[in-house]
A and B are shown apart, each in its own frame.
Chain A
């Protein structure tokens, strides 16, 4: 590298010398040409600075004298004369010699240079020849550790304008921490009252006890850029002589003190214990809901105060215990690199895995069950999606394929995508295969998304041949089942020749979520709060104004809505004013019309029984404070389902797609009625 830089410097210096020469010649014509003077000075300055950096020390030293002289000219301390310009031109030739000889020259040349320097100094009135800046920097920071560790007491108050000057005091503290072990106590005594605070000023100061083997100068160097404006006291801490004894700070750590050296302590706990904790918190949340209900009914303010306090605490406890189970996806994702590499060798294909969003956190129980479906998806991409290097070349793609696996948050859900840039899905082939296997009616005209979703059906495979990797038709339905077991969903998008993207939509957690409790007729439902935007009233007039369309205007925006009453076939008269919950989905904002929004509800998710497992629009159930059950709705699926059934209606009663969803809906309606009946029974018993 240094050779390359030296060559580059030589080239640049050549240009600079040409620039210097032309400036000097101009100056020769007009001795007071300040512009030419400035150009000459800058050229010399750059030659000196760069020369010293790339090993031309002699050249740099010589140029320094000339630069000093020109600085004096620039400042009007000396005048440019013909004699001086002659000398400058002679110096220029000397610099050229030094440059061409790679920095070495004969002693005769050196003597000549010394003579030039002496003459120039005489003409410009420079007293003694000042040495050029010695190598090394004002911000020299390399130093050896010397001597035994000592304790230092440092008080540091950065200048008030530190932030404006781009100084980050925390970085300085961190740098200080790098010298040894230290304790920091924040001094907030200068922080004014809130209304007087200028957020761009620095009011903080720190008292630091630093135990380090580095010398005092090293500590001072940390603050080198701010030492002019800041308040800085560095003194040896008491007990300095007892070198090996712990410093005072260690013996009596300050309350606000924080050990900056070493990572935060952590401990390993069996996953089982954490699961148990989360379960208990779930029970606690349920019991708290009952307590809240009772205290509300009793109307005893004292009881209510206690109940509210417990409600707040359980909320915090819940968040805390859930966060313990949250883990980044990195470990899971990184394991696939090896998989892609090994499969590449086996299948004689070239592919790289790119990982995005590996820091996304997800409930450990979800992550554990995610591995198998992701392995399937990557195997599928490698086997079916990605072409052989020869095929890829032929279709003008780079030989190395890319598989991208990414994760991102979306409300209370996580989207995990596996994308390849392979051959993609052939809609016609999928269609043929689906007809062959009796999954699709010959006359059906399904949309592309519906068609692609058929590859998730059991036994479906479009691979022309069965290979050792996949293609036995057990792939995608396994993925579907595992993802559905996690209450997730799968979307498939593809462009022929450009690749395939499979998106898994998974809940962040399987345990407890923040929900919004709503009532329709006698039934209660929970919508996930993370997706809910707002709730507005829907009066009779608004309904009439839409001429029978399920559309409402919310602050100028058209919001299509789904009436849960109609959707679930609830037989009860709607109230005069209903309410719309506006919910954010992938498809845009949608409304859900309910009788009443009851409020926030910490929702402990319970699995539905086998009977309701195939109902896609319901993601679970929860037990309310009064002991009744509320279904947890999946707004995303509800909207998708509504869109699908609307487009199916438009296609004039085409029964091509297996009416799975409709069947699910019937099950749900029956189930719901049965549940309602059961609830009635229990009420009667009470």
Chain B
């Protein structure tokens, strides 16, 4: 069974790139346009969440907090996409419960490597 990855990003291009790269890597990718949409699409069947930090309606930090407070989604790995290499932002997401992060811009190889790192 292919592992299921949910990508939450308000940028269609980033979603497309993530989907293209990960589908190529043998994963099944579901897209969500913002944090709220992601919450609606998340289920225990999702193996990994990749989320942007800045999104309308519900931002990445809020999304991560919601996932971490939902017992049904316990232990789900979460990778956040961030443009800031600032430690403060990383710390905030990490404290919210993110598993790892990727700094934009990233290459497809980097994305695959990070996904492999947290998903096996």
Q: Are A133 and B103 in contact, CB atoms less than 8 angstroms apart? A: yes
How many Å from the CB of A78 to the closest CB on chain B? 18
Name 16 A/B residue pairs within 8 A (Cβ), A-sorted.
Answer: A8-B12, A39-B56, A52-B104, A54-B17, A60-B105, A138-B90, A138-B101, A138-B102, A139-B102, A140-B110, A141-B113, A164-B74, A165-B97, A165-B98, A166-B77, A225-B99
Given the interface pairs A12-B11, A139-B113, A166-B75, the reply to whether A171 lies near B102 with Cβ below 8 Å is: no
Leading 4 A-B pairs by shortest Cβ distance: A166-B77, A52-B105, A225-B100, A166-B99
Contact mask for chain A residues 126-138; partner B; CB cutoff 8 A; 1 contact, 0 none: 0000000101111
Q: Are B10 and A42 in contact, CB atoms less than 8 angstroms apart? A: yes
Kindly state whether residue B78 has any CB partner on chain A within 8 Å.
Answer: yes
Chain A residues whose C-beta falls within 8 Å of the C-beta of B75 in the assembled complex: 163-164, 166, 200
Chain B residue nearest to A224 in the complex (CB): B100
Interface of B is mostly: mixed
Contact mask for chain A residues 6-18; partner B; CB cutoff 8 A; 1 contact, 0 none: 0011001000000
Interface residues of B (CB under 8 A from A): 10-14, 16-17, 20, 52, 54-56, 68, 74-78, 81, 83-85, 90-91, 94, 97-106, 109-110, 113-114, 116-120
How many Å from the CB of B105 to the closest CB on chain A? 4
Kindly identify which residue among B10, B52, B91, B106 contacts A137, using a CB–CB cutoff of 8 Å. B106
For window 168-184 of A, CB contacts with B under 8 Å fall at 168, 170-172, 174-175
The distance in angstroms between the C-alpha atoms of A49 and B104, with both chains bound, is: 6
Kindly identify which residue among B11, B77, B109 contacts A46, using a CB–CB cutoff of 8 Å. B11
Interface residues of A (CB under 8 A from B): 1, 5, 8-9, 12, 39, 41-42, 45-46, 48-50, 52-54, 60, 133, 135-142, 163-168, 170-172, 174-175, 200, 222, 224-225, 228
Q: Are A8 and B13 in contact, CB atoms less than 8 angstroms apart? A: yes
Given the interface pairs A138-B85, A225-B100, the reply to whether A1 lies near B94 with Cβ below 8 Å is: no
Q: Are B14 and A228 in contact, CB atoms less than 8 angstroms apart? A: no
Chain B residue nearest to A7 in the complex (CB): B13
The distance in angstroms between the C-alpha atoms of A470 and B102, with both chains bound, is: 60
Q: Which of B56, B90, B94, B117 has the most CB of A within 10 A?
A: B117
Kindly identify which residue among B76, B84, B113 contacts A133, using a CB–CB cutoff of 8 Å. B84
Chain B residues whose C-beta falls within 8 Å of the C-beta of A170 in the assembled complex: 120
Chain A residue nearest to B113 in the complex (CB): A141
Kindly identify which residue among B11, B85, B97, B99 contacts A50, using a CB–CB cutoff of 8 Å. B11
Q: Which of A50, A172, A228 has the most CB of B within 10 A?
A: A50
Q: Are A41 and B20 in contact, CB atoms less than 8 angstroms apart? A: no
How many Å from the CB of A224 to the closest CB on chain B? 8
Q: Are B109 and A175 in contact, CB atoms less than 8 angstroms apart? A: no
Q: Are A133 and B83 in contact, CB atoms less than 8 angstroms apart? A: yes
Q: Are B97 and A46 in contact, CB atoms less than 8 angstroms apart? A: no
The distance in angstroms between the C-alpha atoms of A174 and B119, with both chains bound, is: 11
Chain A residues whose C-beta falls within 8 Å of the C-beta of B113 in the assembled complex: 139, 141-142
Kindly identify which residue among A136, A142, A171, A200 contacts B118, using a CB–CB cutoff of 8 Å. A171
Chain A residues whose C-beta falls within 8 Å of the C-beta of B103 in the assembled complex: 133, 136-139
Q: Are B84 and A164 in contact, CB atoms less than 8 angstroms apart? A: no
Q: Are A53 and B106 in contact, CB atoms less than 8 angstroms apart? A: yes
Kindly identify which residue among A5, A136, A139 contacts B100, using a CB–CB cutoff of 8 Å. A139
Q: Are A141 and B110 in contact, CB atoms less than 8 angstroms apart? A: yes
The distance in angstroms between the C-alpha atoms of A174 and B118, with both chains bound, is: 11
How many Å from the CB of B85 to the closest CB on chain A? 5
Q: Which of A5, A54, A138 has the most CB of B within 10 A?
A: A138
How many Å from the CB of B58 to the closest CB on chain A? 12
Chain B residue nearest to A64 in the complex (CB): B83
The distance in angstroms between the C-alpha atoms of A133 and B77, with both chains bound, is: 25
How many Å from the CB of B92 to the closest CB on chain A? 12
Chain B residues whose C-beta falls within 8 Å of the C-beta of A136 in the assembled complex: 103
Q: With A50-B11, A138-B103, A166-B76 given, name 18 new contacts (CB 8 A).
A: A8-B12, A12-B11, A45-B54, A50-B104, A60-B105, A135-B105, A136-B103, A138-B102, A139-B102, A139-B103, A139-B117, A163-B75, A164-B97, A165-B78, A166-B118, A167-B77, A175-B116, A175-B117
Q: Are B11 and A164 in contact, CB atoms less than 8 angstroms apart? A: no
Q: Are A5 and B10 in contact, CB atoms less than 8 angstroms apart? A: no
Chain B residue nearest to A142 in the complex (CB): B109
Q: Are A167 and B12 in contact, CB atoms less than 8 angstroms apart? A: no
How many Å from the CB of A277 to the closest CB on chain B? 36
Chain B residues whose C-beta falls within 8 Å of the C-beta of A172 in the assembled complex: 117
Chain B residues whose C-beta falls within 8 Å of the C-beta of A142 in the assembled complex: 109-110, 113
Q: Are B104 and A53 in contact, CB atoms less than 8 angstroms apart? A: yes
The distance in angstroms between the C-alpha atoms of A406 and B119, with both chains bound, is: 29
How many Å from the CB of A166 to the closest CB on chain B? 3
Kindly identify which residue among B12, B52, B68, B104 contacts A12, using a CB–CB cutoff of 8 Å. B12
Given the interface pairs A50-B13, A133-B83, A141-B113, the reply to whether A168 lies near B77 with Cβ below 8 Å is: yes
Chain A residue nearest to B59 in the complex (CB): A42
The distance in angstroms between the C-alpha atoms of A222 and B103, with both chains bound, is: 16
Kindly identify which residue among B68, B84, B110, B120 contacts A139, using a CB–CB cutoff of 8 Å. B110
The distance in angstroms between the C-alpha atoms of A139 and B55, with both chains bound, is: 22
Chain B residues whose C-beta falls within 8 Å of the C-beta of A140 in the assembled complex: 110
Q: Are A49 and B105 in contact, CB atoms less than 8 angstroms apart? A: yes
Q: Are A164 and B68 in contact, CB atoms less than 8 angstroms apart? A: yes
The distance in angstroms between the C-alpha atoms of A46 and B52, with both chains bound, is: 10
Q: Are A53 and B17 in contact, CB atoms less than 8 angstroms apart? A: yes
Q: Are A228 and B102 in contact, CB atoms less than 8 angstroms apart? A: no
Q: Are B110 and A49 in contact, CB atoms less than 8 angstroms apart? A: no
The distance in angstroms between the C-alpha atoms of A165 and B118, with both chains bound, is: 11
Q: Are A42 and B105 in contact, CB atoms less than 8 angstroms apart? A: no
The distance in angstroms between the C-alpha atoms of A626 and B11, with both chains bound, is: 78
How many Å from the CB of A164 to the closest CB on chain B? 6
